[in-house]
Chain A
Amino acid sequence: MSGSSEISLGVSLYSYGGDFLVTMSLEDCLADVADMGATDIEILADTHVAGYPSPSSEWVDRWLTLVDGAGLRPTCYSSWLDTRLHRDRALSLDEAVAILRRDLELAHRLGFSIVRPKLGVVSLDLIPDPIWRDTVERVLPDAAELGIAIAPEIHSPTPLRSRIVDDYVDLVRETGTEHFGLLIDTGIFQTEERKGGHGDSVYVFGDPEPELRERVAREMSKPLAVDPADLVDLMPYVVHVHAKFWDMTDDLTDPHIPYDGIVRALVEGGFTGSVSSEYEGPRELYRASDVLRRQQLMLRRMLDAA
């Protein structure tokens, strides 16, 4: 916790994309997060759990020992709901339920309280596969029993005022559940264009018409510039925040995302969860540890001042 707010700071291990298992072991990453003063830890289940989705009991014991030893609190377990798992048919509801339930159970064993299922999409503007609603409703009793909140991610190019967010909020209103909410990725507040592409490997996405390719590339890269004030009305539904960034300047500011307004909105809105650093810039080796410290210090200062 920093300042007078009840917001805590964490790091997503996604940030160490280039270094993980190359220059840093899982233990090294956890020690690095603790060393920079963050208290919370987030993982990508598929990436960071060796033997996912069925890690050995030795691995699970070692994970619990490592996070305890580093003094870290597991927050969000990010997973995927692969609706296109099969080439010739759609994922059935029973299969989707089994996948989400499996992830909830593993998240619980590893000490997490939030599960983010990345949902398959059915449109160019990323409307999630409609299977999500029945899947979540069937798994809600498990979520309640395990003390876990299921939280789909609101990620650029999806703004806060959108049918997608409205549909998620409707689920909470209609069921009254306390085990479903929103994960906000702060990339949606981006105001400044960035040079270069995504930090991960070079990809060729499909073989679309050049016009479509250009339009999608434009849509994906243009700053969405959502007003952080839009968060205030949604705050009762926000369970977790990804503090996305691609770079940090030497004077410890983010050149693309207006964090002062975001932190102010979170504090004024009474957010009491965790803000998880999610670095997605160039995957040069040894870079993540440095830029994460820069962002953590920026966030600490903003929380202290709020």
Chain B
Amino acid sequence: MLESHVIQAKGFTNVGGDAPNGFQVAVRCPYYRGIWASLIEGVELTVDGETFAAETIRWTLGSSSCATPQLAERDELRWAFEEPAVLTVERPGGLEPGLHELEFAVTWRWSYIPVEMQPTTNISTRTLVLVR
């Protein structure tokens, strides 16, 4: 099952073991039908005011993994409605355990909205606890 919010509390964690070199956060697709990876135009993740560029964010979608710029080539890969994407971000030392303010903005093309009103950006914010 999923949490109601786009940014999921479950899955927010440092990576790299005892010497963390980054963190992960799981985000469910805000578009109610899920989305083909090639429709994604961009992403921006901000933690406590520090913005991580799209190029530095690695997406794990199901059993596939790629950096944001490669999503455009993946017209057979889905960010499925039922399975949150796991974003992995490099950050030496990871994040301090405690509360963090996250903002996640994702931009994609919608085929049935006039091109003058495209692309579409969805912005979510949430305060999450990082335990370790």
Contact residue among A21, A80, A208, A212 (Cβ-Cβ distance under 8 Å from B1): A21
- B113 and A201 contacting across the interface, CB-CB below 8 Å: no
The answer to whether the Cβ of B132 comes within 8 Å of any Cβ in the partner chain is: no
- A204 and B33 contacting across the interface, CB-CB below 8 Å: no
Q: Is the interface of B mostly helix, strand, loop or mixed?
A: loop
Interface size range on A against B = 35 or more
Interface residue stretch chosen among B13-21, B94-102, B114-122: B114-122
- A119 and B114 contacting across the interface, CB-CB below 8 Å: no
- B41 and A47 contacting across the interface, CB-CB below 8 Å: no
Q: Is the interface of A mostly helix, strand, loop or mixed?
A: loop
B34, B117, B124 — most chain A CB neighbours (10 Å): B117
- B33 and A84 contacting across the interface, CB-CB below 8 Å: no
> A21-56 interface mask toward B, CB cutoff 8 Å, 1 = contact, 0 = none?
110010000000000000000001011001110000
> B88-132 interface mask toward A, CB cutoff 8 Å, 1 = contact, 0 = none?
000000000000000000000111111111111111100000000
Given contacts A80-B111, A121-B112, contact A87 B41 (CB under 8 A): yes
- A202 and B122 contacting across the interface, CB-CB below 8 Å: yes
- A82 and B41 contacting across the interface, CB-CB below 8 Å: no
In A89-145, the 8 Å CB interface with B consists of 118-124, 126, 129
Q: Count contacts on B: residues with CB < 8 A to the other chain.
A: 36
Determine how close the nearest CB of chain A comes to the CB of B93; give it in whole angstroms.
33
- A85 and B118 contacting across the interface, CB-CB below 8 Å: no
User: What are 21 A-B interface contacts by the 8 Å CB criterion?
Assistant: A21-B2, A21-B81, A22-B3, A82-B36, A83-B111, A85-B36, A86-B75, A87-B109, A118-B111, A118-B112, A121-B112, A121-B113, A126-B114, A203-B121, A204-B122, A205-B120, A206-B117, A206-B118, A206-B119, A212-B116, A216-B116
